Structure 1
């Protein structure tokens, strides 16, 4: 909880201005709010330690502030580039006491210079919103000051990782420094302290949010972490593993002389894989609708026979490879290896297994960065690998996740792709835990948010909502579920009083896919109601915006899939481990006709529970 004297002082200050510190989440903390006590342009003269405010511009309804923190010239970077934590802060003309820090994305390096809020509605509701660039800039033509930190011959957009401080800024320091400075500017501008502070982000931004709850438990009252890369270095091992597995299916090479992945799993083959998985597991939750809600029950024991029946020439679904009805035996073997997760030569698991999920296929009518985008292809380009694992991931794996960084050119026969395809899971994988004198923090130290000890965050009164795809192609849903179980075991039976996990079947990375993916606004309401009113979310209603079913009405799918899919309707997201269950009557696209029920699974039973480990092949504590 907030210290009593501080909470009382803040509320008294607001009351003096006719702005009580309570109210509906969707309406802000008060109908009236407060106006600035100084001009927007005047903020350029504000003096803050190690901070330069470069501009303060009045826009329609708010003041836009751009600045840098801890600007310096690197002595460790051979290019001696300029580094700083670039930030932007939007201050509404009428403020309702809330502050939100937006999480970043990818390897950062690009400032959201006009932040509106992670749900896209917060600034319009009177929130103050901040964003940062992760402590480096990819482009010289940015709003922060004209510097950039890329070098195509030495890591490309991940070049910043050659500088140990830039690694820390990217991993955790940028969020803490920006939030602290933003709150100081808010206090100066309005003459009042922030009442409630939140952070919300997806992917690396979800990692930012979880890092904040663990490293800076005093900083935010409410945390929303979506599809979090909370153990990104370990997920990076899976990126290399997946591409090497798929590389064995490649029949040609790309412009860099590496396996050309785009043709290994055409879209129609991912559709067949989705149909096979659904045939094994869709009915486990009581409704055949294209959504596997009972994902823990969708085990390899159930899926492998289904894949066999969809194997060309041996199963019951055809014999023509890539014809939209069957998979080759080599494709099936590749899927089994990928979904089992990366291992070293001794068979020790290095990351996580993956839940079997229909979202392996992203229908054209429900686009998103799904399994195929990460692992196979984003946009077809002859002779060029465009899978995200081989573009964004190929830069991060050698430069950011390895210690010391392995500096390579972006392209060419010895470039980043080559490093991924020749990654050694015996000798390279342990380097995510390594540190040196020049790089005293390993990538797991400065990036990961894997701690299960959230006592400081809970004791302060913080609330955490994590939402994740069951399987999004880059981060294993089984991994975040495992973390939540372990955290619950450590924190005790009252975990649900401060932290809840919501799993989303079929959803692509940070949205999209044949799923109920529209819920950001409801998630925002859920965290504010929990923080400010003590109302914990028993469900979060999510919507599907497709006008027609993204699934075809016939083969290779069960015809009931298209009929029962919640087209144009809603479904509940349930707090883990509960799952949605159809109550037997009413429309299947109405969340009111579903209850959140206990799946009654037990570790070691007929459910998908792998032994917990820490990525080194050891049992984690």
Structure 2
């Protein structure tokens, strides 16, 4: 097939259950998920919208029982490979034709120094090229142009989702954006802030057991008092939690224990919770660490590790070159330099999605309340800006909803009841448990759901659990009865609390 600006490199018919990964899987149960995959046509494509671009794309076409829809899926981190684990498999099982892209950063985003076309591909162009090309392939294969288009992604995929809604409002009819890294240069600045605080001196560093002690202290202080159920091991609404680091026990002179903390460690915690600010003007750059998220994956234990800079600081190398050092980064002038060079390419902060809404587009946002990488305050702030930009709550409700998932870390998992059908979790067991298909139903004319029923499978000592995930500003408040049943909760609006909204300067 001839494609403008792209080339089909290979295609093959993959029998049911025959797809395998040639690299280690990011999800431990991924091999099990592949066993019941349906048969599909696998198409590998390279797009070259610029002479410097080399964007890898895969399109999967069900050989039978296509549901008449296309699903674009997102990537994670710095991308650099096709993200099979991030929704392609589950999308195919639901009957979608699906696509994914390496975002033009293969094999490693750290190799994109001095390659501004790669920055553009990563920022937004690769996702649009994937979408454009996938639609052409689907039309040719099924001999139709009449099909709906959806996008689902989390983290970097959430940034891709919001960038598509802002820059290319005609690309998708419905968009599912999870834990979005759309404020890219400033979430990265928060990673530098945290890494610098955690590595400033050896006495500031904390063990994994100490991070667990901190989270346990937070839970003991606030769980069940913020709308959650008695016995919860997570927070429902951390904005209602009045935890302070003074609740932690100070170590006595010469004492070494995972249950106590030094003055230096207490100071580090205060800096993490406060979040990054401009040292000269006091303007907020990005929200701080959410209480109750301290021991989750991608949290402080990882952000203070030696591996973290290679994974997350690539854009500072792009903008600042050899002069960039996390320990001496200037959150005033250096960040201005980063923004001047990259914010218009990498960030997706525009909250006025009127063009997307006018086309009939529908948006679901979701995020983990215990996400330590993209704080829940950041996602709430974006949704509040969206609401204001389109004319208020009632106008926003016509096309957009936000769902906050208590006890969920970054995109999936965590101590809460977290399976709403997003990637990273098992396939949903019913439509009310499937946020993607709820979005599809709303986009295609059904009534907007006010809640998604989250599920958690039975453990060795606990029963299967259900809990409603409510449309913001409501949260699932416990009323009475068995806390493992969704009917024991009611969706109730909560006061906003402290929002830690970034200054307008850092929403560029």
TM range (shorter): 0.7 to 0.9
Who is 2:473 aligned against?
577
Match of 2:354 among 441, 455, 459: 455
| Shift, 1:72, TM fit | 5.9
Q: Which runs of 5+ in 2 are unaligned?
A: 16-38, 423-427, 429-433
Q: Is the 8 A contact 2:418 2:455 kept in 1?
A: yes
Q: Does 1:207 align with 2:159?
A: yes
Deviation string, structure 1 residues 410-468 (Cα, Å, up to 9, x no partner): xxxx8xxx72222111221112321xxxxxxx321111111111100111111111111
Who is 2:286 aligned against?
352
Who is 1:126 aligned against?
95
Q: Is the 8 A contact 1:502 1:575 kept in 2?
A: yes
Who is 2:229 aligned against?
287
Aligned partners of 1:178, 1:524: CA distance in 2, in Å? 20
Q: Is the 8 A contact 1:355 1:478 kept in 2?
A: no
1:476/1:359 Cα in 2 relative to 1: closer, same or farther (>3 Å)?
closer
Who is 2:488 aligned against?
593
| Shift, 1:343, TM fit | 1.6
Who is 2:18 aligned against?
none
Q: Is the 8 A contact 1:117 1:123 kept in 2?
A: no
Who is 2:82 aligned against?
111
Aligned partners of 2:155, 2:454: CA distance in 1, in Å? 19
Q: Does 1:242 align with 2:172?
A: no
| Shift, 1:615, TM fit | 4.5
TM-score, with structure 2 as normaliser: 0.86
Aligned partners of 1:177, 1:62: CA distance in 2, in Å? 22
Q: Is the 8 A contact 2:387 2:396 kept in 1?
A: yes
Q: Is the 8 A contact 1:312 1:328 kept in 2?
A: yes
Q: Is the 8 A contact 2:60 2:98 kept in 1?
A: yes
Equivalent residues in 2 for 1:69-468 (5 A)? Answer: 69-70=47-48, 73-74=51-52, 83-94=53-64, 95-112=66-83, 115=84, 118=87, 120-138=89-107, 157-251=109-203, 264-282=205-223, 283-285=225-227, 287-288=229-230, 289-298=232-241, 302-304=242-244, 307-313=245-251, 323-354=257-288, 356-362=290-296, 369-377=297-305, 385-386=306-307, 388=308, 390-399=309-318, 405-408=319-322, 419-434=325-340, 442-468=341-367
Deviation string, structure 1 residues 449-508 (Cα, Å, up to 9, x no partner): 111111001111111111112242221211111111121122222212211111123322
Aligned partners of 1:470, 1:320: CA distance in 2, in Å? 37
Aligned partners of 1:612, 1:47: CA distance in 2, in Å? 46
1:345/1:355 Cα in 2 relative to 1: closer, same or farther (>3 Å)?
closer
Aligned partners of 1:505, 1:161: CA distance in 2, in Å? 38
Q: Is the 8 A contact 2:469 2:476 kept in 1?
A: yes
1:355/1:530 Cα in 2 relative to 1: closer, same or farther (>3 Å)?
farther
Q: Does 1:517 align with 2:418?
A: yes
Who is 1:3 aligned against?
none
1:118/1:194 Cα in 2 relative to 1: closer, same or farther (>3 Å)?
farther
| Shift, 1:274, TM fit | 0.9
Aligned partners of 2:3, 2:276: CA distance in 1, in Å? 47
| Shift, 1:313, TM fit | 4.7
Who is 1:380 aligned against?
none
Q: Is the 8 A contact 1:311 1:329 kept in 2?
A: no
Aligned partners of 2:233, 2:459: CA distance in 1, in Å? 16
Deviation string, structure 1 residues 565-590 (Cα, Å, up to 9, x no partner): x86312221111111111122x1122
1:65/1:265 Cα in 2 relative to 1: closer, same or farther (>3 Å)?
same
1:594/1:322 Cα in 2 relative to 1: closer, same or farther (>3 Å)?
farther
Q: Is the 8 A contact 2:298 2:410 kept in 1?
A: yes
Q: Which runs of 5+ in 1 are unaligned?
A: 1-45, 75-82, 139-149, 151-156, 252-260, 363-368, 378-384, 400-404, 409-413, 435-441, 550-565
Aligned partners of 2:382, 2:448: CA distance in 1, in Å? 21
Who is 2:498 aligned against?
608
Deviation string, structure 1 residues 95-120 (Cα, Å, up to 9, x no partner): 221101111111111124xx587173
Q: How many residues align?
A: 469
- Name segments (4+ residues, structure 1) moved above 6 Å: none
